[in-house]
Structure 1
Amino acid sequence: MFKYALTRWRYIGLVSSLILVFASILSVYQNGLSMSIDFTGGTIIDVQIQTLLNASDLQMMIHGSLKDTLIIRNGAEPGLWQLVMPANSIMTDPYQIVSTVSEQFSLPVTLVQASVVGPQVGEELFNQGGLALLAASLSIMGYLAIRFEWRLALAAIASLIHDTILTFGLLAFLGIKIDLNVVAGLLAVIGYSLNDSIVIADRLRDVLRAKPDMSIYANTDLAVRATFARTLVTAGTTLFIIGCLLVLGGEALYGFSMTMFAGVLTGTWSSVTIASTVQELLGLSPEHYQTKPDLVDDMP
């Protein structure tokens, strides 16, 4: 048991984070990541239907050949709806789909517009999204390697990996389809998840230089306490805004806002449980940030 109470709680949090990482990997393995039409290809048909029913009620009314393929989503405005058909569906003609839906609903359905995403376009979007995530991660790693001592840099990278895995695990558990909005949310999470880690690392670097006689555990606890109020205020205000977007943004922004909410929450948590503990396990000490005296040759 460690001498400092905060250190003990930080390491308990580290164990909890490792359990959550294992659960997230298991969630992705069992449930898989559901890719949206942006990446798999298909047809999106915007229609107008004057009804008081919601999307779930309309979805239950679908039967026949469209039952297992057609997905109904809320549109941008009341009375507007989106009919989503995957690329491998039997029925692909928008007019035929609208006519069939109108018959099954016993309601007039007006075609507004239809857009088709081909499999090749979906594959290109998937590759570009992956390259964007990779480029952002490599850029951040390069920045950390230049700015901090390698132990602090690896701790921040471990925190980033932790946040990404937990976010993917939540997306898989909730069955949220990964579309371009979710990729944008992931890019934002990659940047934000390092925010608190870098703040704590900056503060710890200053403390290590100012208090070389204290142990690494005491120095880390002091850095965490010094930045804790700032972390809570920043995370709290950010989560409040994202929470409003999550509740009021509608289905179109649900994946993006949920990704951001999970990323900010895990990023705040990991800055204390991952970033501030991994560097201790790697052997960081105050000596690594002490100025070494210049060696001057003795002159006769």
Structure 2
Amino acid sequence: MFLYSLTRWRYIGLIASLLLVLTSLFSIYHYGLIMSIDFTGGTIIDIQMPTLLTISELQSMIQSPLKDSLIIQQGSEEGLWQLIIPINGTMIDPHQLISIVSQQLALPITLLQASVVGPQVGEELFNQGGLALLAASISIMAYLALRFEWRLSLAAIASLIHDTILTFGLLAFLEIKIDLNVVAGLLAVIGYSLNDSIVIADRLRDILKAKPNSNIYLNTDLAIRATFARTLVTAGTTIFIIGCLLVMGGDALYGFSMTMFAGVLTGTWSSVTIASTIQELLGLSPEHYQPKLDLIDDMP
């Protein structure tokens, strides 16, 4: 198994990935996943407030009785902000709330709109988001099983689980709230995570068909080497764009950008260390891609 240098590094990477999964599970258990108001419910008030202060500076100026319940977030445009009160926070009339916040911050505030997300709506959004992730995973697994081979399908799903756990572990460690933008990022990560795995698997299938008597580990190494330049260019350009969005997108897109950034990195890594190695451990061989010939007895 370890006769080839790339094979050796792939299996070392598999061990490293398992350690990262355990670390991420500990991070999720220790820090916990912080659910946003999209899932927990509460009140969102959109306001216009002219200020150059940062969110941390504004948050530190909030005093009782709103100090422990009010959350200030930056809006999609300059000068637009959001005041968020969780469902278990102190519920105050929006006009009264703006009056109190305006006095504490010593800034003029204009009410734009106020919306309430009930706990039942938040629970429904959470359930629908989970079902969307599950449906996407099952559909992809069925497609891969029909398009390639069931061993690749299981290996790709294992790669998806690896990427999802690592992404959630990073979100928990950084204390990033899970909102609908993060769920959208996770759905995009699922598609991207399979991108390199399918490209490598397609190349591996061609090699196995052309070399039915060769070693499976050597063939996998050849497939990875043949697609490495394409993987490097695709991942590099994608990470560059997401990095720009992460730096310049602001707080409104921070959760989505970080989810995509972590997902692209782990997806590229797992295509080599998880998907390409697990299908070997499941017994993939050149015989599985050889055409099956039906023997027809000659009629007398």
RMSD after superposition: 1.3
C-alpha separation between the residues in 2 aligned to 1:92 and 1:38? Answer: 19
Helix, strand or coil at the partner of 1:45: strand
Distance apart, 1:126 and its partner CA:
1.2
The equivalent of 2:295 in structure 1 is 295
Distance apart, 1:292 and its partner CA:
3.2
The equivalent of 1:9 in structure 2 is 9
Q: Which moved more, 1:160-169 or 1:288-297?
A: 288-297
The equivalent of 2:208 in structure 1 is 208
Distance apart, 1:41 and its partner CA:
0.8
Instruction: Indicate conservation of the 8 Å contact 1:37/1:179, yes or no.
Output: yes
Helix, strand or coil at the partner of 1:66: coil
C-alpha separation between the residues in 2 aligned to 1:155 and 1:52? Answer: 50
C-alpha separation between the residues in 2 aligned to 1:24 and 1:96? Answer: 43
The equivalent of 1:64 in structure 2 is 64
Helix, strand or coil at the partner of 1:84: strand
What is the 5 A alignment of 1:83-232? 83-232=83-232
C-alpha separation between the residues in 1 aligned to 2:245 and 2:73? Answer: 18
What 5-or-longer segments of structure 2 have no aligned partner? Answer: none
Counterpart residue type for residue 193 of structure 2: S
Instruction: Indicate conservation of the 8 Å contact 1:182/1:259, yes or no.
Output: yes
Distance apart, 1:230 and its partner CA:
0.5
C-alpha separation between the residues in 2 aligned to 1:293 and 1:131? Answer: 41
Distance apart, 1:77 and its partner CA:
2.2
C-alpha separation between the residues in 2 aligned to 1:224 and 1:39? Answer: 41
C-alpha separation between the residues in 2 aligned to 1:102 and 1:227? Answer: 58
Which whole-Å deviations, capped at 9, do the CAs of 1:69-124 have from their partners, x for residues lacking one? 11111122222211111011123311111111112112222222211111121111
C-alpha separation between the residues in 2 aligned to 1:292 and 1:140? Answer: 25
Counterpart residue type for residue 186 of structure 2: L
The equivalent of 2:28 in structure 1 is 28
Distance apart, 1:276 and its partner CA:
0.7
C-alpha separation between the residues in 2 aligned to 1:202 and 1:159? Answer: 17
Instruction: Indicate conservation of the 8 Å contact 1:49/1:108, yes or no.
Output: yes
Instruction: Indicate conservation of the 8 Å contact 1:43/1:92, yes or no.
Output: no
Which whole-Å deviations, capped at 9, do the CAs of 1:11-61 have from their partners, x for residues lacking one? 111111111111111111111111100111111112222222111101001
Which whole-Å deviations, capped at 9, do the CAs of 1:196-245 have from their partners, x for residues lacking one? 00111111111111112211110000000001100011111111111111
Distance apart, 1:299 and its partner CA:
5.3
CA 1:50/1:293 → structure 2, altered by over 3 Å: closer, same or farther?
closer
Helix, strand or coil at the partner of 1:221: helix
Distance apart, 1:7 and its partner CA:
0.4
Distance apart, 1:127 and its partner CA:
1.5
Helix, strand or coil at the partner of 2:111: strand
Q: Which moved more, 1:152-161 or 1:103-112?
A: 103-112
Counterpart residue type for residue 3 of structure 2: K
The equivalent of 1:268 in structure 2 is 268
What is the 5 A alignment of 1:277-296? 277-296=277-296
Corresponding residue pairs, total: 300
C-alpha separation between the residues in 2 aligned to 1:8 and 1:250? Answer: 42
Instruction: Indicate conservation of the 8 Å contact 2:142/2:153, yes or no.
Output: no
C-alpha separation between the residues in 2 aligned to 1:288 and 1:90? Answer: 63
Distance apart, 1:266 and its partner CA:
0.6
Which whole-Å deviations, capped at 9, do the CAs of 1:232-287 have from their partners, x for residues lacking one? 11111111111111111111111111111111111000000011100111111112
Helix, strand or coil at the partner of 1:64: coil
Distance apart, 1:135 and its partner CA:
1.1
The equivalent of 2:77 in structure 1 is 77
Counterpart residue type for residue 94 of structure 1: P
C-alpha separation between the residues in 2 aligned to 1:28 and 1:94? Answer: 35
When the two structures are superposed, what TM-score results if normalisation uses the length of structure 1?
A: 0.96
Which whole-Å deviations, capped at 9, do the CAs of 1:140-175 have from their partners, x for residues lacking one? 111111112111221111111111111111111111
Instruction: Indicate conservation of the 8 Å contact 2:35/2:179, yes or no.
Output: yes
When the two structures are superposed, what TM-score results if normalisation uses the length of structure 2?
A: 0.96
The equivalent of 1:254 in structure 2 is 254
Counterpart residue type for residue 250 of structure 1: G
The equivalent of 1:55 in structure 2 is 55
Helix, strand or coil at the partner of 2:112: strand
What 5-or-longer segments of structure 1 have no aligned partner? Answer: none
